[in-house]
Amino acid sequence: MECLPADSSWYNRCNGALAGSGSPADAGGATNQNWKTRKDDDMNRRTRNLALLAGLGLLLGAASRPSLAQQPTSKEQGMHEPSMHGTSGEEMPGHAHQMSMLHGGVVAMTKGHRFETVFGADGLRIYMYSGRQVPARFAEVTGTALLKFKDGRTEKIPLTVQKPQEGDEVAYFCPGHPQATQMHPGVCDACGGMPLQAQNYLLGNVDLAGVQPGSLQAVVDIRGLGGDEPDVTFTETYEGMMGPDSHRGKT
């Protein structure tokens, strides 16, 4: 169709005819429009892909971190829970008491010591050990034991330092070499033959005849130990008469 520019109505009709005829000029405009559409589609796909990758990275990161519920407990890790016999102001990590129960008693742990309490026919005896379970000696200390009976009665008895008596089973030790501890006199080879020291104890005289196991608690208070822990207080429950053979071979 030929367009005559002198007549504007013909010009308009001509352009309308061209628009409907699929002429090359119109095809070029459609091509531009299609290219723009494809470009927009590519951008949208890239944006979606980046978002998917970011989300996948977050999921992988969360999966690699165990939740609190999945954290291993101290028992699963092989760690020991704090434990003790008796009570004191502060607990220490628990483990075998075998080296601090040489006389068949029960052991209480404090900040820097262990104390073995033995309930016997002559009352209660208290032996002292270092935090490393090495036997130790009482020097000039004072102490009391407050006895609390199940029926409500109370009795406070003094604790006095005693040397080992004939017939006592005595621990002999070297303060610097725990491996030298033994239940008979001797020398410490690591110290060049120095005589071992005999462990002493605190004694509280009380008649426990007729007292039922579990019906008595002894609140022990010791003063004047010196060092980083000069004073201690702990509680033990009477569970019957004790002796050197009652805990032997146990931990």
Lowest mean pLDDT among 45-49, 143-147, 156-160, 167-171: 45-49
Pair (126, 22) in one structural domain? no
Comparing CA positions, the residue from 112, 147, 144 lying closest to residue 128 is 112
Q: What is the mean pLDDT of residues 77-104?
A: 50
In a domain, 79, yes or no: no
What pLDDT is attached to residue 181? 93
What pLDDT is attached to residue 147? 97
What pLDDT is attached to residue 224? 96
Pair (13, 128) in one structural domain? no
β-strands 142-149, 187-188: how paired? unpaired
Reported pTM: 0.60
What pLDDT is attached to residue 209? 87
Pair (146, 25) in one structural domain? no
Q: How does pLDDT run across 210-251, given as a tens digit for each residue? A: 899 999 999 999 999 988 999 999 999 999 988 654 433 333
Angle at 91 between CA 90 and CA 92, to 5 degrees: 125
92 has a pLDDT exceeding 80: no
In a domain, 37, yes or no: yes
1 has a pLDDT exceeding 80: no
What pLDDT is attached to residue 132? 85
Pair (98, 42) in one structural domain? no
Under the banding of pLDDT at 50, 70 and 90, the label for residue 158 is very high
H-helix or E-strand spanning residue 98 = none
In a domain, 171, yes or no: yes
Comparing CA positions, the residue from 185, 205, 187, 203 lying closest to residue 195 is 187
Give me the domain span that covers residue 218.
Answer: 87-237
In a domain, 246, yes or no: no
Lowest mean pLDDT among 19-33, 73-87, 93-107, 139-153: 73-87
Pair (19, 143) in one structural domain? no
In a domain, 167, yes or no: yes
Under the banding of pLDDT at 50, 70 and 90, the label for residue 121 is confident
Q: How many CB atoms lie within 10 A of CB 236?
A: 25
- Tell me, what CATH number does 140's domain have? 2.60.40
Number of domains composing the chain: 2
Q: What gap in Å lies between CA 119 and CA 156, rounded to an integer?
A: 16
In a domain, 249, yes or no: no
Pair (48, 103) in one structural domain? no
Pair (109, 158) in one structural domain? yes
Instruction: Tell me the two tokens of residue 150.
Output: 């199940």
Q: What gap in Å lies between CA 123 and CA 18, rounded to an integer?
A: 124
Under the banding of pLDDT at 50, 70 and 90, the label for residue 145 is very high
Pair (122, 18) in one structural domain? no
What pLDDT is attached to residue 3? 47
Lowest mean pLDDT among 42-51, 82-91, 168-177, 197-206: 82-91
Pair (38, 111) in one structural domain? no
Contact by Cβ (8 Å): 142, 223: yes
In a domain, 248, yes or no: no
What pLDDT is attached to residue 48? 73
Under the banding of pLDDT at 50, 70 and 90, the label for residue 122 is confident
142 has a pLDDT exceeding 90: yes
* Structure letter (DSSP) for residue 89: S
Q: How does pLDDT run across 161-208, given as a tens digit for each residue? A: 999 988 889 999 999 898 999 999 999 999 999 999 999 999 999 999
* Structure letter (DSSP) for residue 111: S
**Looking up tokens 């409500």, which residue turns up?**
152
Pair (29, 132) in one structural domain? no
Pair (148, 226) in one structural domain? yes
61 has a pLDDT exceeding 90: no
Pair (95, 197) in one structural domain? yes
60 has a pLDDT exceeding 60: yes
What HEC string does 167-236 produce?
A: CCCCCEECCCCHHHCECCCCEEHHHCCEECEECCEEEECCCCCCCCCCCEEEEEEEECCCCCCCCEEEEE
In a domain, 250, yes or no: no
What pLDDT is attached to residue 246? 42
